Amino acid sequence: MTGHLEPEKETSSRKPRADSLRNREKLLVAARDVFSAGGAEASLEAVARRAGVGIGTLYRHFPTREALFQAVYSREIDQLVELAARLAAEEPPFDALRHWLHAQIRMVATKKGMLAALNPVFDGATEVFAAHQERNRRAVADLMARAVAAGAIRDDIEPADVMRAVIGMCYTRDQPGWQDTVIRLVDVFLDGLRIR
């Protein structure tokens, strides 16, 4: 799985070529920009053009559209995972969970175009994304576990399902201020989750 992410020296004696690494980086940056702006209909050729490399180079580095999405998306997840750890250390359980879900919404807001592009992917090529979803899931799971231990929320709802619910709620046509709406809806949901 990490074969593409971290070139393995053991396979070949040679070290990876400098231009290869450079192009890979250029492609990732270009992809992030293009997907963020253009959304689902963004063309891979546009990504290659923006990166200033040939379409062939793009396909060599990222053999499928999903592989490219995955690589770009990976970094975003990193940030969220880190935030979860920080919140868990700094806030009471329920608040930590709530604030982290709000952060998730804000992240979706920024990367909306890209996430829209990702949606079909979630349905299709699952194995590739499993790891990222899993990391994300574990972040919520930790936060939820703490809240459950503190007797703040019910314990019969799967973390993965909470993620699904929250991300799903972001999939609405965006009128100005939709983030606030979603935050409210998530708060209602959390209210249903809460033990009073």
Partner DNA sequence: TGTTATACGGAGGCTGCCTCCGTTTTGCAA
Partner DNA sequence: TTGCAAAACGGAGGCAGCCTCCGTATAACA
Interface residues with DNA (CB under 7 A) are 12-20, 22-23, 43-46, 52-57, 59-61, 63-65
Contacts of 123 (CB under 8 A, 6+ apart): none
20 binds, among its own copies, DNA, none (CB under 5 to 8 A by kind): DNA
Backbone angles phi, psi at 68, to 5 degrees: -70, -50
User: Binding pattern to its own copies, positions 118-137, x when CB under 8 A?
Assistant: -xx-xx--x-----------
Give the nearest distance from C-beta 52 to DNA in angstroms. Answer: 7
Which whole-number Å values give the CA distances from 159 to 19, 93, 135, 166, in the listed order? 42, 15, 12, 11
Give the nearest distance from C-beta 166 to its own copies in angstroms. Answer: 9
The number of beta carbons lying within 10 Å of the beta carbon of residue 38 is: 16
Contacts of 190 (CB under 8 A, 6+ apart): 94, 97, 98, 101, 153
Give the nearest distance from C-beta 22 to its own copies in angstroms. Answer: 34
Handedness of CA 167, 69, 40, 124 (dihedral sign): negative
Helix (H, G, I), strand (E, B) or coil at 153: strand
45 binds, among DNA, its own copies, none (CB under 5 to 8 A by kind): DNA
Enter the tokens of residue 68: 């490219």
Considering only 29, 83, 141, 165, the residue that binds its own copies (CB under 8 A) is 165
Choices 51-59, 76-84, 139-147, 185-193; region in contact with its own copies by CB under 8 A: 185-193
Binding site for its own copies (CB under 8 A): 39-41, 116, 119-120, 122-123, 126, 157-158, 161, 164-165, 167-174, 181, 184-185, 187-194
